[in-house]
Structure 1
Amino acid sequence: MGGEGGEAPLRTRGNQPDVPAPDSPWDEIVPGLWMGGHQYRALSGRLESAVVDRQFDLVQTLLRLPGYGPDPGVEHHVWPIPDGPLDGTQLAGVIRLAEAACEALDDGRTVLVRCYHGYNRSGLVVAHALVRQGGTAEAAIRLIRARRSSWALHNDLFVDYLRAGLTTARLLEDLTE
């Protein structure tokens, strides 16, 4: 499964359709900030739905599927984006989600950022939130891969966005539109 050092080869999901489902519905990256998906592989080996009820104060969803929660009354931000190239508007939404996650954390609230497997789209938001809190892109990527999965942020383009800085990537995308 992995490349050198136990890390997954860096590919986008489009080039690697056999990306394995994670072993847990969500994982805590830093205190209060969780990253997850809509499905995971249970100990039995079966794929299970990762349904959010009231486990988190704020849920941010980058791929919305019906029936996955959260419960009514839980703050829920939905910003569907592809696991591929993003335009300036999509990047601006990612930046806003990361800002909202940081604000919620500052207020002592718990946050779940989720996408399909909880690897790329959610990783982009979580990594940007970590950078906003003073970390580097490289440290954020390493931490996410250590805490969530070696498959996290296997989308090379998203890693490039993080290394360039999302604000810079957004400006560059706006210039090409």
Structure 2
Amino acid sequence: MRIEGRGAPYADFPWNEIVPGLFMGGHHYRDSSGGLLPVVVGSEFDVVVSLYRRDGHGPAEAVVHRCCEIPDGPLTSRQLAEVVELGEFAAAAVREDRKVLVRCQAGYNRSGLVIVQALLTLGYSLDDAMFLVRNRRSKWALSNHLFVNYLTTGLGVAGLLVGLDD
């Protein structure tokens, strides 16, 4: 599920490299005429983390593929823990010199949440990680203010706080 109404256009590229070996993308992007095209991942990456899934978008069978569908909205404590785990998984793969793609529907919010967590795991500050995502992917990245609040609170603490409602 993707929250509509933010006014964000789809990206101009299927994916963008945020730091060496760590890419952020979506399942669709705009071509030069503004038309919407599907992003089909083959074997360009060693690891793909999908937070949104559609049949026919890859990756190739030999690629390590972790899929964890999460909404582009409020997350449960379990989903926040999964984001932390996926960020750590992506960071570990980057440390092993593997080429990693983290993707969601448009490639802005859900993928941005995991990418920032991966960057934090790799030693970047929160401000630097969020700047890199917005600068290298799109100014529309991390436009979900709830996700930014989760990040500034810390995903572990946010998970505990959200868990109080369970």
Give, in whole Å, the separation in 2 of the partners of 1:123 and 1:106: 19
How much does 1:46 deviate? 1.5
Match of 1:26 among 11, 15, 21: 15
Residue in structure 2 matched with residue 130 of structure 1 by the alignment: 119
Q: Is the 8 A contact 1:62 1:122 kept in 2?
A: yes
Match of 1:168 among 157, 160, 166: 157
37-46 vs 81-90, greater mean Cα deviation? 37-46
Residue in structure 2 matched with residue 9 of structure 1 by the alignment: none
1:147 and 2:136 matched: yes
Letter in 1 for 2:64: E
- Give RMSD over aligned pairs: 1.1
Counting matched residue pairs gives: 165
Residue in structure 2 matched with residue 73 of structure 1 by the alignment: 62
Give, in whole Å, the separation in 2 of the partners of 1:121 and 1:17: 14
Match of 1:82 among 62, 71, 74: 71
- Cα deviation, 1:125-174, whole Å, max 9, x if unaligned, reads 00011111122222111111000000000000000011111111111111
Give, in whole Å, the separation in 2 of the partners of 1:14 and 1:57: 30
Return structure 1 stretches of 4+ with deviation > 6 angstroms.
Answer: none
Residue in structure 1 matched with residue 3 of structure 2 by the alignment: 14
Percent of aligned pairs with the same amino acid: 51
How much does 1:15 deviate? 5.7
Give, in whole Å, the separation in 2 of the partners of 1:133 and 1:169: 20
Residue in structure 1 matched with residue 89 of structure 2 by the alignment: 100
Residue in structure 1 matched with residue 32 of structure 2 by the alignment: 43
- Cα deviation, 1:55-112, whole Å, max 9, x if unaligned, reads 0000000001111000111100000000000001101111111011011011110100
Q: Please state whether the residue corresponding to 1:27 is helix, strand or coil.
A: strand
Which sections of structure 2, spanning at least 5 residues, go unmatched? none
Give, in whole Å, the separation in 1 of the partners of 2:95 and 2:36: 34
Q: Is the 8 A contact 1:91 1:166 kept in 2?
A: yes
Give, in whole Å, the separation in 1 of the partners of 2:53 and 2:4: 22
Give, in whole Å, the separation in 1 of the partners of 2:18 and 2:153: 22
Which sections of structure 1, spanning at least 5 residues, go unmatched? 1-12
Q: What TM-score results when the alignment is normalised by the length of structure 2?
A: 0.96
Letter in 1 for 2:80: L
Give, in whole Å, the separation in 2 of the partners of 1:38 and 1:133: 26
How much does 1:17 deviate? 5.0
Q: Please state whether the residue corresponding to 2:164 is helix, strand or coil.
A: helix
